[in-house]
Structure 1
Amino acid sequence: MGNRGPGSTLESVDLGFRGDVVEFYQRYRRGYPDAAVDAVVAEFGLGADDVVVDLGCGTGQLTVPFARRVRAAVGVDPEPDMLAAARRAADAANVNWVLGADTDVPALGLLLGTVGAVTIGQALHWMDHERLFRAVHPLVRPGGGVAVFTNGTPLWLQDTGWSRALRAFMEQYLGTRLTLTCGADEHTQQRYADALGEHFTVRRHLVEYEDDLDVEHIVGGVLSALPVDKLPSDRAAFTVALRDILQPHAPFTERVDVRILTGRR
């Protein structure tokens, strides 16, 4: 539920996304709608000759959908446990999983040559985006580019009764206020767009939909966002307590705004 400090990267920040967190991440992290992936495919003209690199890939929620649309995809993540889970779950044979961080982009260029696109799904807030955009420019082919996905507002920051109840519960549990949006707020989106515009032609895309959640998915989504050392020791009791807090606010309808910034070379 945190954010990166100035100058931090996936390589230099211990996100705590390992161990039991990976199971929650793989099971409960929301995937990306086809319309969002297809918007990027169309923007860059991606096809059977292209390779896509997905930075901060986690367990492959974005890597695998792109792999189905191109020649090959490369998922890059600094957490070995994430990559191990991605390998077990992937249903696409044309995916390679690489241990690495955003700082490894120049080395990837030496290995891969030019690629059709570099994607970042709900992970750019952990990276030095200005340095990354500079490094990516020579890696992508003309007409290709960078796509930054923000997969909705965090569960605990939405404008609903159940989300406000969740936020109060988690702030008490963690002993801190929860205000960081993981890049979903307009101010941060504009910062990304401005930095991207230094090297690429920028466009914004939006895919909107509503989803109905249950308590299991809300709890799982929360646990997938906690570092491993912050996971509750008694998860059954944690779930019961959170269910009691949430239940008066049912149904749990979520508006999901998938925002995509594309930078075309």
Structure 2
Amino acid sequence: MALGFRGEVAGFYRQYRRGYPPAVIDSLVEAFALTRDDVVVDLGCGTGQLAFPVADRVRAVIGIDPEPDMLSEARTGAGDRGNLSWMVGADTDVPALGALLGKESLAAVTIGQALHWMDHQRLFHDLLPLVRPGGGVAVVTNGTPLWLQDSGWSRALRRYLELWLDTEVSATCGTDEESQSRYAESLQAAGYEVGRAEFHYDDQLDLERIIGGVYSALPVDLLPPVEQRSYFAKQVSRALTEHTPYRESVRVTILTGTRVS
């Protein structure tokens, strides 16, 4: 399942995608009663933004992603953490993973803003026998995409991206309420007990982080060519300059599905 998030995009992803506040990790630990004896899978792990802090709280984390370049960046970012392993794979590989690890072998499966690329209904059913009672699945978002926020700079960014790409820019990446409700219904239908938590924090961006964030969200074939990036940056700056400062109100949501028996 190649999505185009390879090559340079993986580097932008590692550099510019934000991490998760400690309270979010605390909430995951509490939701599934995670201990140092537990193993967690981070599915669609990207470059490790969620896998790293979770690994600090459990025995081991297996990061799975369809893009080898993402995993290469994750390995680099992991530093001297010795309890992380990385596998090339996708949601469709979960049954094979279950055959390898065995029933009730996992405390949790985390999915950080990647579920919109997956067949979530099938995935939730496939994961249920892999997690222990009291464990489960956590669907975690980390803020509305840069181009869909309720601010002047975000609207200006969206207008410019639509001109540059010659298409509507409307992807919510599963952060919208309709998607969240759909995921919750599917978790319940698969046999999980559903819960939800929210965390809010404020951030202030600069142009480098905005442009880097955009690059991290584009498939590699849609990245501006290297020779055009200076022009791209100048045009983004021109479009956004009257909307400084670039403040952002970030909402992190955690949708949990707990296996009760």
TM-score over 0.5 (shorter chain):
yes
Q: Which residue of 2 aligns with 1:197?
A: 188
Distance in 1 between residues matched to 2:117 and 2:229, nearest whole Å? 27
Q: Does 1:238 align with 2:232?
A: yes
Q: Which residue, 61, 65, 71 being the options, matches 1:73?
A: 61
* 1:47-62 aligned within 5 A: 47-62=35-50
Q: Which residue of 1 aligns with 2:22?
A: 34
Q: Which residue, 214, 218, 222 being the options, matches 2:206?
A: 214
Q: Which residue of 2 aligns with 1:144?
A: 135
For residue 110 of structure 1, report the CA deviation from its aligned partner.
2.2
For residue 252 of structure 1, report the CA deviation from its aligned partner.
0.4
Aligned residues: 253
Of 103-112 and 135-144, deviating more is 103-112
For residue 207 of structure 1, report the CA deviation from its aligned partner.
0.6
* 1:88-103 aligned within 5 A: 88-91=76-79, 92-103=81-92
Q: Which residue of 1 aligns with 2:116?
A: 125
Q: Which residue of 2 aligns with 1:259?
A: 253
Distance in 1 between residues matched to 2:132 and 2:92, nearest whole Å? 20
Q: Which residue of 2 aligns with 1:112?
A: 101
Tell me the amino acid that sits aligned with residue 7 of structure 2.
G
SS class of match (2:111) = strand
Q: Which residue of 2 aligns with 1:20?
A: 8
Structural RMSD (CA): 0.8
Distance in 2 between residues matched to 1:179 and 1:229, nearest whole Å? 19
Distance in 1 between residues matched to 2:22 and 2:91, nearest whole Å? 25
For residue 41 of structure 1, report the CA deviation from its aligned partner.
0.7
1:162-204 Cα shifts (integer Å, max 9, x gaps): 0000000001111111122111111110000000012200001
Of 15-24 and 140-149, deviating more is 15-24
Gaps of 5+ in 1: 1-10
For residue 104 of structure 1, report the CA deviation from its aligned partner.
1.0
Structure 1 residue runs of 4+, over 6 Å off?
A: none
Tell me the amino acid that sits aligned with residue 95 of structure 1.
L
Q: Which residue of 2 aligns with 1:229?
A: 221
Q: Which residue, 152, 156, 164 being the options, matches 2:155?
A: 164
For residue 93 of structure 1, report the CA deviation from its aligned partner.
1.3
Tell me the amino acid that sits aligned with residue 52 of structure 1.
V
Distance in 2 between residues matched to 1:88 and 1:188, nearest whole Å? 33
Tell me the amino acid that sits aligned with residue 33 of structure 1.
P
Distance in 1 between residues matched to 2:135 and 2:220, nearest whole Å? 37
TM-score by length of 1: 0.94
Tell me the amino acid that sits aligned with residue 125 of structure 2.
R
For residue 213 of structure 1, report the CA deviation from its aligned partner.
0.5
Distance in 1 between residues matched to 2:213 and 2:69, nearest whole Å? 18
For residue 132 of structure 1, report the CA deviation from its aligned partner.
0.2
Between the aligned residues of both structures, percent identity stands at 61
For residue 21 of structure 1, report the CA deviation from its aligned partner.
0.7
TM-score by length of 2: 0.95
